């Protein structure tokens, strides 16, 4: 069975700082990878996804993620965060025949 | 339009009540899902419907009863719930199901359920 781990449970940073959230998965086959964001009091929204092709994926709101197959990783990055990026971020993985599996989530607090 | 709607937004019920949660999507998606999300935890899959048929039940207690009246609607009937069932219940949909799903799932805002 596949699993997803997000290394940081909580991240606190100041506006304009760079953000990188780690995500590693365990599955030997072809995977589809997602980052979802959940803003306070709001529903899960898709930030970006990787199915195939260019391993550097650009999403909404200036986020990007890089799929490194050899490291089983799909880290999320943003060069300069804003206060409005305060949210919980979930990495998720799915593969043929397997359900969408979420990581434990990372709570990001951006201080103004 | 990538909108999944859920009603009600909040629900408070006693352990002897019967209530239903509703979910609707008009994206033409043929797979719909129920998830349960406890505070500070990721969503946990409960049920998957594919082409209006229940394809996955993740060993959910029978006090939760899903129903898919048509391709756009998904209900979750609740009966004799326990306080530990209090959580955010999320509905999602995706284009197709391949075993489970390899397509993007779009989530609704959820129903926050409190069981007294």
Q: How far apart are CA A19 and CA A26, in angstroms?
A: 23
- The whole-angstrom distance between A81's CA and the closest CA on chain B is 22
Residue labelled with tokens 């009091």: A41
Tens of pLDDT, residue by residue, chain A (112 residues)? 778 999 889 999 999 999 999 999 998 788 899 999 999 888 899 999 998 899 999 999 999 999 999 999 999 999 999 999 999 999 999 876 668 899 999 999 999 8
Structure tokens at B31: 């797979």
Contact B90 A49 (CB under 8 A): no
* Sequential pLDDT tens for chain B (116 residues): 568 999 999 999 998 889 999 999 999 999 999 999 998 889 999 999 989 999 888 899 999 999 999 999 999 999 999 999 999 999 999 987 664 556 788 999 999 999 99
Take residue A25 and report the two structure tokens written for it.
């998965």
B67 preceded by a cis bond (ω within 30 of 0): no
pLDDT at res. B1: 55
Contact B7, B74 (CB under 8 A): no
In angstroms, the CA B52 to CA A62 distance is 37
Nearest CA-CA distance, residue B59 and chain A, Å: 14
Question: Which residue in the block uniquely carries the two structure tokens 């779009």?
Answer: B106
CB contact under 8 A, A34 and B104: yes
Give the distance from residue A69's alpha carbon to the nearest chain B alpha carbon, in angstroms: 18
Q: Does A98 contact B110 at a Cβ distance shorter than 8 Å? A: no
- In chain A the first and final C-alpha atoms are separated, in Å, by 41
Looking at the complex, does the CB of residue B114 fall below 8 Å from at least one CB of chain A?
no
Query: What chain B residue is nearest to A98 in terms of C-alpha separation?
Result: B100
């Amino acid at each position: 069975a596949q699993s997803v781990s997000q290394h940081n449970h909580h991240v606190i940073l100041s506006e304009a700082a760079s953000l990188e959230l780690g995500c590693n998965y365990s599955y030997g086959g072809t995977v589809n990878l997602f980052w979802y964001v959940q803003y306070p009091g709001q529903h899960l929204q898709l930030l970006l996804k990787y199915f195939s092709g260019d391993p550097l994926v650009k999403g909404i709101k200036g986020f990007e993620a890089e799929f490194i197959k050899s490291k089983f990783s799909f880290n999320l990055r943003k060069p300069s965060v804003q206060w409005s990026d305060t949210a919980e971020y979930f990495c998720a993985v799915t593969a043929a025949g397997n359900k969408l599996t979420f990581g434990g989530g990372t709570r990001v607090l951006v201080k103004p | 339009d990538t909108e999944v709607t859920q009603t009600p937004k909040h629900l408070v019920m006693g352990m002897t009540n019967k209530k239903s949660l509703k979910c609707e999507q008009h994206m033409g998606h043929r797979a719909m899902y129920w998830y349960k999300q406890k505070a500070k935890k990721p969503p946990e899959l409960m049920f998957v419907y594919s082409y209006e048929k229940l394809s996955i039940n993740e060993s959910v207690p029978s006090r939760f009863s899903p129903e898919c009246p048509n391709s756009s609607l998904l209900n979750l009937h609740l009966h004799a719930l326990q306080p530990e069932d209090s959580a955010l219940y999320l509905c999602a949909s995706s284009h197709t199901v391949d075993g489970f799903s390899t397509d993007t799932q779009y989530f609704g805002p959820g129903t926050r359920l409190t069981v007294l």
